[in-house]
Structures are given as structure tokens and as C-alpha cells.
Structure 1
């Protein structure tokens, strides 16, 4: 239902503010920008990991197997979320709409399961058991408050599978500290920078729209992509190391699916860059140690720490202007696809 007050300026939130309060409005816009960016970036990662798992599954099925199956076989990325406050709920909804997830693919641990009954009614797995969620998923999002992080890490330490990607959405706490708290190294955290607030501040989003509707706005969606250069007056910026973390997480999924280096990079070109007939990114761009690269050997797991320093060639290739645009095009495209087509 449309908001009947939407076009009535006298009934808008800003109309009741005084001069001093009006000066603080950019803080509200920035909080909205951070929230949308956080959800969009996490959703992009889940989407491409689902896409690669499904692509590999289908490539390994014979034509006869495909014809005999009445329903489409799935190999979904199992997603866990610890903490289901406002951010956690928005993540779940975004994964369901844009991330190629079905409700049964998502596991949520929250102290108040009754507060997310709507999600449980849809089929999302809702429990209050951090360790159980941690050991059940391929990607684990930590979305608790900073004050709760030590307890959460204590709960799940030792329960995380070696192949699981831990994606932290907890502000302030650096990756090095998270690795120490978890006694685990496969940890990734986007670095969102809050830009200075002045009269040139500009936010293309609509504060009245939720994350789903905001992501459908191409201008807002492009703003959330770390490879999109911030426009003048932008409120937030995500460090482009996020792109490296996402790409290496994609390659790690390929390694866990027992693909060799050549097959893995073919999928990077096909899925992330949408250039199946071109070898934009190749095995020669990946640093695998001092030994000569054998692209037909199984791909080894990549370290997600110090990614830019350890993979300078891959970073340089992804930062190339033409490759950046290919990445951005794919990023934006996943928020245009209707949910039914994603399944």
C-alpha cells in the first residue's frame, strides 16, 4: 500500500525539525547508506556462491540425469546469521529476495526466537544455539552488537568447520582481533569508511524505503558497490579490499568443490565478470607460492588475511578500469532479477 503522506512535505519527518536538528540529518542519511551497503554487499557474496555451487552441480550431471529429474536439484550455500535484530532480519529478507536462497537454506541464532516468528513461518531455521548454527553452514554472518561479540565468539570457538567463511558485520572490531577471539583464520570483514559531513553531502536513496526497495534503485545499488568510485558528497565508502575478499572466497568455494585452477578461473570469468568466452582473469594472476603454477592441479584454499599484499597481481587486474566495470555490472544485475527467476 502506498504511503498517502509521501508527497505531503508538511507531514514528512524533516518538517518538524528545528535548525540545529536539521544539521544532523546527514547522520540519518549516512546510517541508512551504511545499512543498505552492508546488506547489499553480503547479498552479492551469497548470490555468487550459490551461483557457482549450482553451476558446478549442473555441469557434473549427465543429460540423462537431468531429463529423469522431476525437480531441479540444488546444492545451496547454507547461510548462518548470529544475531537477528534489525540488521539480521534485513539480511534474511535480502538473501531470500536477491541471494538465490530458499528459507530452509538459512539458519538464524537469536536470543529471542519469538521475535522473528514471521521468518520461522516462512521456513527459516530459527534457534538459540550459536554453536549449532556455526557448525551447520558454509557462510556465517556475525551480526551481534559489539558488546555481545566476546560471548558469541566463546560460544562458537571450536565449532566452526575449517571450510566455513566467517563474515563479520560487527563495527570497530578488526579482523585480527576476531581471528584471535575465534582461534580461526578464515574471517572476512568489510571496511566501511564514514566520509565527512558537509553541505555537499548527497544520498540518492529514499529514507522511507527498506533495504529491498533501496537495492532495486540502480543509483543506490551502484553506490553500495565498493568498485564504484564515490560521487562527490558521498556519505560512505567501502574499502576495495572487499573485492579481493569476495573473489578469494569465491575461489575457495571452487577449491572445496574440487575444481582445478583453470576451471575455477573460468568460473570467475563466467559468473563474476559475465565474460564466459573471454579469459579476463587467469591463473597467472594468482600467487600460489614460489613454485610454478600448474593450472590443472586442484586449487588450494586462499588466505583471506592480507589479501592485497599476498595477491598483488590479482588485485591489480581487478582494479583495471574495464574489469572494474564488468564487476560493477554483475553486482548491479543481481538486484534486478525477480526472485522466482533466481531459484
Structure 2
């Protein structure tokens, strides 16, 4: 049924606001943009990791390539993230599990095959990527639940604000932790996020996809190179966890990006680690394990490499748009 009040200004949200309150309307755009960008960047990470796992499977005859994704918390962000992953990541619903204090709040998702329960340690032991979508006040209890239950290969991705990534790593006793750090800049195009009224349709808008691209964000929200570096180091650690030699690891990671941008500059050992360490690294020897917590707060060889390499930045941006534009290959289901 058509909304008969859609074009009536007297029924709009802004009508009842005072002039002082109207000055705060930009916060609506910022909140919507943060939700969209957070979910889109998480889906991009999942698709990169899944692509790498599939390539590793074909390279090593490893039978286990399906990515297991856990979401801890089913508040607004947890639900929006789940919508996004089901629509855009290509991950099977049966390979997504949720831990929530209110499992009944996820009933609409469990009907699609997603499992929901309240058991944080169980989720930690099962997941390959674990998204923390809990409130900052709940974080100490959550970290206590997860501590000693996280395998080294589990990538923890935290949306919880107010806790630096180094502190989060300490609380978890785990250094494979990625935390996006969003900043805000004044601009004339921030209102673009107000067109993102329905998340499940918003990613079909090229303008929003462009605005959320991690390396070219231009609508008031900024992420930057540190997050991109952490994502690439995550891929490297995944190769290390499977004991792939450094030569094979680089070949497989380069292959992902060359498929999206044929002119990409190839990543080499010195792109990730110091020249002195790289010179002594044998081709059949795995890369050293990289602490993601440290990689996000320190100057790394990869940060220096990406900062001065525009073609590689273009490659990553092309991969981002290509991966999120590709429809998820799942059985049909209805979410909204």
C-alpha cells in the first residue's frame, strides 16, 4: 500500500524539531553511514578470507574451506551485520552462529538456518572470524568468557567502541584482533548517507558503495590505511596458520587481487616484513606470525608500502567494489 503521507512535509521527522535540534540532524547521516560502512567492510573482509581459503584448498587439497562466522551480540548492529553477511558475503547460513543473551530475538534469522544460542565460549571455539557487537559495558564479561577459548587462527573483529585494540588484545589474551577506527571529517556530501534508508537495498546504490570504499571514503567518514594493512596482514596470518611457505603465501594473496585488478603491483616479502628479515626468509619457510594489535598502532613495512603505492591502492579499491557488487550465491530466503 502506498504511503499517503510520503510527500507531506508536515509529517516529516524534522517538522517537530526546534532550530537547535535541527543543527544535530547531521548525526542521523553519520549514524547511518557508520552502520553501512561497518557492515560493508566486515563483508569485504569475509569475502577476501573466503576467497583465500578456497584458493588454499585447491593448492593444498585441504578439505575444510568453508568460513565459519560468529556474531556475539544481537543488538541493532549485530542484526544489521547479519543481514549484510547473508546478502553479500556468500557465507552459508549454516556457517553463521550467534551468541546472544536473548536468543529469541534472532528468530527471523534461525528460520534461514542460522543458529542462535547463549554460549560465548562455544562460539569462540567454533568461529574462524568472530565479530564482537556488544556494548562497551559488557566487554569485560565478554572477554572473560572468550579468554582461553579462542584458537590462534580465530580472527576477532571488534565493533565495540571506547576500548583501544591493544587493550582489547590484553583482555582477550589474543593478538589476532582487528578493530576499525572510524574518524569524521566535515564535508558537503555527508547527507548521501540519508539515502541509505534500507540497508538490504542500499548496497545496490553505486554512490553509497563508492562512498564506503576504505581508501576513497569521501562522505564525512574516514577509515584509512591502517585498517587495510591489518586486513592484508590477516590474510598473511591465515597462510602462516596453514604452514604455507612464504613464496606460496604471496602467490595466493597476489592472485586474489590480480583477478580484480590485472595491473596490480605484486606484493613481495619486503611489503610485509623488514628488508633484513625478508632477506633471510626461505621461500618454503612460512612468514612470521604478525600481531594485528601491534600492526594497527605502529608504522609497519606494509603501511609504508601502501602509502607510496597508488596502483596497489587502486587494486584494493577495485577488489572492494567488485567483491561487494557480486551477488551472494545462496538459496533464496526472505529477511525483511
TM-score by length of 1: 0.86
In structure 2, what is the Cα distance between the partners aligned to 1:113 and 1:161? 24
State how 1:103-118 maps to structure 2 within 5 Å: 103-118=93-108
Q: Which residue matches 1:225?
A: 213
The structure 2 residue matched to 1:340, chosen from 323, 329, 333, is: 329
1:307 matched to 2:292? no
The structure 2 residue matched to 1:285, chosen from 267, 271, 274, is: 271
Q: Which residue matches 2:76?
A: 86
Q: Which residue matches 1:212?
A: 200
In structure 2, what is the Cα distance between the partners aligned to 1:162 and 1:127? 23
Report how many residues are paired. Answer: 328
In structure 1, what is the Cα distance between the partners aligned to 2:120 and 2:105? 17
Q: Which residue matches 2:314?
A: 325
Query: CA-to-partner distance for each residue in 1:167-193, whole Å, 9 max, x for gaps?
Result: 111011001211221122221111111
State how 1:1-343 maps to structure 2 within 5 Å: 9-60=9-60, 75-196=65-186, 200=188, 202-207=190-195, 209-228=197-216, 230-231=217-218, 234-273=219-258, 274-275=260-261, 280-287=266-273, 290=277, 292-307=280-295, 312-319=300-307, 320-340=309-329
Unaligned runs of 5+ in 1: 63-72
In structure 2, relative to structure 1, the CA distance for the partners of 1:341 and 1:193 (3 Å cut) is same
DSSP-derived class of the 2:191 partner = coil
Unaligned runs of 5+ in 2: none
Query: CA-to-partner distance for each residue in 1:76-109, whole Å, 9 max, x for gaps?
Result: 1111111111111111121111112111111110
TM-score by length of 2: 0.88
In structure 2, relative to structure 1, the CA distance for the partners of 1:161 and 1:30 (3 Å cut) is same
Residues 181-190 or 24-33, more deviating: 181-190
Q: Which residue matches 1:67?
A: none
Shift of 1:286: 2.3
